[in-house]
Amino acid sequence: MSFPTTSPEFFAKVGKTPLVLLKSISSSIGRNIFVKLEYHNPTGSVKDRAAVKLLQDSIERGLKPGGTLVEATAGNTGISLAVLSRLAGYRLVLFVPETLIQAKIDKLTGLGAVVFKAENYPDNHPKHMNSLAAIYAKEHDNTIHVNQMNNLVNQQAHFETTGPEIWEQLEGSVDAFVSGAGTGGTFSGVSKYLKKVSDGRVKAIIADKQGSGLHHYIQTNGESFDAEGESFVEGIGKLGLIDNIRDVLTLANDSLQISDIEALNTIYRLIEEEDLRVGASAGVNVAAAIKVAKSLPPGSNVVTIIPDAVDIYAKKVFSKQWLIEQDHWDKIPDEYRKYATL
């Protein structure tokens, strides 16, 4: 399948991201934590990998030149699709959570997408943003619902690229893979690949944020998605089952829940000790990876994902006022408070 685009360079630049060792943290715990720096993708996040395949799939499902893609997204898929659809000559309509950080909405509209805010409902609820996107596609001509949540080409992208890259970069020395799940594409695709290639040896662990029900779902072996509270972390967390996490109970060896303050302090620690400026979900991933690594024998290799960079979250993560309002300030160690400069 070829793309009706003048920019094949874009597609060539997706993936093959660096995998780096967190030197200071790893030496402090006697286990190795490797992070896959997905902000090196062309639009700055892990979602470029899935977006390329999802666009291709939309064309195969009948999207015609000048048509419209419609999708529900917490932002990064929207940014990838906005760039891709522009290059390929399509319009883009997005449904986003009403709580999405304004910087992402501004970026999306700046890239030419039409953005509608949706209230927070459990996945599969008729008013969930993904249902709204499906209805929009039905009501408009030459419009395809991308459907990253239920379209399995999303996880296939990670099975074909992210998983093999990790395996090759560590020459097979992977003991555990830790990741949050938003659509579940990254977790499911990478875990499936690593388990397949290692004959089931690699452990896969879900890193969940506070306010998400996925951790409870795994810990109760699929009983329910109970969750309480909210989180500032965007892009991960689930309140219901969607197709790209349908296999999570067989794939996940365990799950951990990380509080917002743990995620924040991990973000500051990564700046302080590793010179890395990572986004909010990466704070959850690395905090969970450290806990997982400590539970494994010394010298173990644990891999996690840095889905995007901190920049777009700066107005929260680096804002003293926001940190005080959220009751985080008192729980931030003195040596990290210098990062609250906004």
Active site residues: 47, 281
> What are the angstrom distances between the C-alpha of 301 and each of 33, 41, 188, 267, 293?
6, 24, 19, 21, 8
Q: Is 307 in the site for ligand PMP (CB under 6 A)?
A: yes
Per the CB < 8 A criterion, the answer to whether 209 and 263 are in contact is yes
Return the structure tokens found at 318: 């680096």
Closest-CA residue to 303 (of 284, 289, 282): 289
Q: According to CB under 6 A, which one of 41, 162, 266, 281 is a site residue for ligand PMP?
A: 281
Per the CB < 8 A criterion, the answer to whether 123 and 130 are in contact is yes
Q: According to CB under 6 A, which one of 108, 279, 290, 303 is a site residue for ligand PMP?
A: 279
Per the CB < 8 A criterion, the answer to whether 192 and 159 are in contact is yes
Q: Closer to ligand PMP at the Cβ: 142 or 247?
A: 247
Return the structure tokens found at 26: 């790893």
The site for ligand PMP, by CB under 6 A, has a size of 21
Q: According to CB under 6 A, which one of 51, 59, 74, 204 is a site residue for ligand PMP?
A: 74
Of 152-211, binders to ligand PMP (CB under 6 A) are: 180-187
CA atoms within 13 A on the CB side of 331: 13
Per the CB < 8 A criterion, the answer to whether 244 and 123 are in contact is no
The interface region with ligand PMP, picked from 69-77, 167-175, 202-210, 322-330 by CB under 6 A, is 69-77
Q: Closer to ligand PMP at the Cβ: 76 or 156?
A: 76
Minimum separation from the CB atom of position 236 to ligand PMP (A)? 5
Q: Closer to ligand PMP at the Cβ: 38 or 175?
A: 38
Name the 3-class secondary structure at 71.
strand
Of 224-253, binders to ligand PMP (CB under 6 A) are: 234-236
Q: According to CB under 6 A, which one of 15, 31, 32, 47 is a site residue for ligand PMP?
A: 47
Interface ranges with ligand PMP (CB under 6 A): 45-47, 74-76, 180-187, 234-236, 279, 281, 307-308
